[in-house]
Amino acid sequence: MSNQDSRRSLASELAAAADAYQAAAVIPHCSVCAKPCCRLDALVLELEWKQIRTFWKLGESRKTFDRQLAAGKGPEEIRAANGLYYVHSKPCPAYDLAGHGCTIYGQDIKPAGCSDFPVYEDMGSVTADLRCEAVNLDALVAWLARAVGPAFRIVQSADAEFPFLVTLAARKKAGQRPPRA
Ligand code: SF4
Ligand code: SF4
């Protein structure tokens, strides 16, 4: 297997392990979470126009909505920038406050970032967002180590600006070769 194929294979294993960790340790906790991310108290939700239009049940054109937003007459929790919309400080309209769940779970309209949060593969490493109370960093490191096997160790590094974002990279142990596919 070439180095490039090995890297792709490792990235796939990490992606699968991140998804499995979410399914096993994060999603079951969402219904009892003390600080649900979907309330957007701490997190900023990035949305495209089609999501803004659907979530806020808008009938007007994007141009009209953008004009209203720029004039301070749109929803105060939405900011527009770079062709996207950023929502913060009020619960996501798709969040069921009473049931503690996403009402568009599994639908195409659901933002990709929602499915990624709080543990996801990115550029061959796993990013963990520790703002989610369900993430146990030690348990996640052990989970990933099991997934990639004994030829690798998991190295952690926190983002300098946002230390709650931790990158977990699989590094080959000295003198070890990755297992053949
Ligand atoms: S912060 Fe974590 S546990 Fe809480 S609702 Fe969000 S994903 Fe679920
Ligand atoms: S779309 Fe669903 S998962 Fe994403 S913030 Fe809204 S309620 Fe939460």
What is the model's pLDDT at position 3?
75
30 lies in the same domain as 49: no
**Which residue's alpha carbon is nearest to atom 2 within ligand 1?**
132
> How does the average pLDDT of the chain come out, rounded?
94
39: nearest Cα among 136, 114, 128, 112 = 114
26 lies in the same domain as 52: no
Centroid of ligand 2 to alpha carbon of 176 (angstroms) = 42
Evaluate if residue 176 carries a pLDDT over 80. Answer: no
Evaluate if residue 1 carries a pLDDT over 90. Answer: no
Q: Decide whether any atom of ligand 1 lies within 6 Å of the 29 Cβ.
A: yes
Q: What is the DSSP string of 118-174?
A: TEEEETTEEEEETTSTT--HHHHHHHHHHHH-TTEEEEEEE-SS-TTEEEEEEEEPT
What is the model's pLDDT at position 161?
97
Confidence of residue 6 (pLDDT cuts 50, 70, 90): confident
Domain count, the chain: 2
Segment 11-60, tens digit of pLDDT:
999 999 999 999 999 999 999 999 999 999 999 999 999 999 999 999 99
Q: Is residue 111 one of the residues assigned to a domain?
A: no
- Terminal CA-to-CA distance of the chain, rounded, Å? 7
* Dihedral in degrees, nearest 10, Cα atoms 62, 96, 16, 11: 40
Centroid of ligand 1 to alpha carbon of 122 (angstroms) = 20
Q: Is residue 137 one of the residues assigned to a domain?
A: yes
- Specify the DSSP element, H or E, that contains 115: helix 112-116
Residue 65 in tokens: 């909505």
Question: What residue numbers bound the domain in which 26 lies?
Answer: 3-34+116-172
Cα 170–143–42 angle (5° rounding)? 90
126 lies in the same domain as 167: yes
Q: What is the Cα–Cα distance from 52 to 155, expressed in whole angstroms?
A: 38
Evaluate if residue 124 carries a pLDDT over 60. Answer: yes
For residue 2, give the 3-state DSSP assignment. Answer: coil
Q: What is the Cα–Cα distance from 20 to 143, expressed in whole angstroms?
A: 9
In the chain, what percentage of residues exceed pLDDT 90?
A: 88
Q: Is residue 128 one of the residues assigned to a domain?
A: yes
Evaluate if residue 112 carries a pLDDT over 80. Answer: yes
